[in-house]
Amino acid sequence: MAVAPGCTVLLGRFAMERAPLESGKITFSGVDNRDVYNIAAPVTFRGEILIAGRVEARETEHAEIVFFRRDPDGVWRPRPGAPTFVGLQDPCVTIVNGELVLGGVRFPIELPDGRTIWRMEFYRGRSVERLTHFLTGPDGMKDIRIAGLPDGRIALFSRPHCGPGYRGRIGFTVVDGLDKLNPDVIAEAPILEGQFTDVEWGGVNEAHLLRDGRLGLLGHIAWMETGEIRHYFAMAFAIDPETRAVDPVRLIAVRSQFHSGPAKRHDLVDVIFAGGLVRHWDGTATLFAGLSDAEAGYVRIQDPMARLEAEQALQR
């Protein structure tokens, strides 16, 4: 089994990468001066470009997911007629067979025994105005992601905690369609081994179909230092959906590459939420991310998915 190199090694390798080509913040309005962060990447659906973002006041975690549309002045405002998903955090968005699929984390959920947990919920529809709930994930699991495959099947990525003493790992399986997804299938997805050390955790944030038939995965890897100070980095790797063969994890972005700004709490200063990647024709890509649980921004970098494709081609 491969041994995870760990964040320290990955950061050392990443220090030799090229600096970002461009960076900036994303301006939102129309949400009563609340923060918008942990966004998904812009998605084009039925001729509109939309961003789903987490909206909440700085001093709380009572969030909602809102769809935004960019006005001619460059400011993103709530899309008229789109539903608001109260109580959901950290959206993910994809399109499967012509349907828009939205996922979000329901928090807090108070259980009868007094515990507070979270669950992911998923909604689907052929218009942004009418999205219907179709799936709830297992208790306590975030970072569930789905992606359509060319043959109509669905790639599923989970993030179980794998027992006491372990933080989140990545599970992977393939199902025949959206209707085949359920909490048991998610919970039983086999774990991808050798990606994280025992003190780290990570998950998939978005999947891209590569030219060689593999899936290029945008995700995060994280660790926590003394005092519960969190460090979250954006990473990428590829997986063959048929053989489950994976490339090693590599970092693609860190917080310092984005514009400086406020943090929700002192322990979140070095945190980015890798929301999504928009690939460009010139070999670059724009990474959209939440910044320190307070803002949203982007960096333009060398396309990590193109690099995964090129490296695979050299091995053949």
**Class of residue 209 by CB neighbours under 10 A (exposed 0-12, middle 13-18, buried 19+):** middle
In 3-state terms, what secondary structure has residue 19? coil
How many Cβ atoms sit within 10 Å of the Cβ of residue 212? 13
Average the pLDDT over each of 7-21, 190-204, 205-219, 249-263 and give the range with the smallest value. Answer: 7-21
> Largest alpha-carbon pair distance within the chain?
56
**Class of residue 152 by CB neighbours under 10 A (exposed 0-12, middle 13-18, buried 19+):** exposed
**Model's pTM, two decimal places?**
0.94
Asked whether the predicted pLDDT for residue 6 surpasses 90, the reply is no
- Domains within the chain, CATH numbers bracketed: 7-315 (2.115.10.20)
- pLDDT value of position 295: 98
Distance, first Cα to last Cα, the chain: 23
How many Å apart are CA 138 and CA 147, to the nearest integer?
19
How many Å apart are CA 124 and CA 96, to the nearest integer?
9
Asked whether the predicted pLDDT for residue 3 surpasses 90, the reply is no
Cβ–Cβ < 8 Å for 65, 113: no
In 3-state terms, what secondary structure has residue 310? helix
pLDDT, tens digit (0-9, with 9 covering 90-100), for 136-188? 999 999 999 999 999 999 999 999 975 544 578 999 999 999 999 999 999 99
Structure-block tokens of residue 314: 């050299």
How many Å apart are CA 291 and CA 262, to the nearest integer?
8
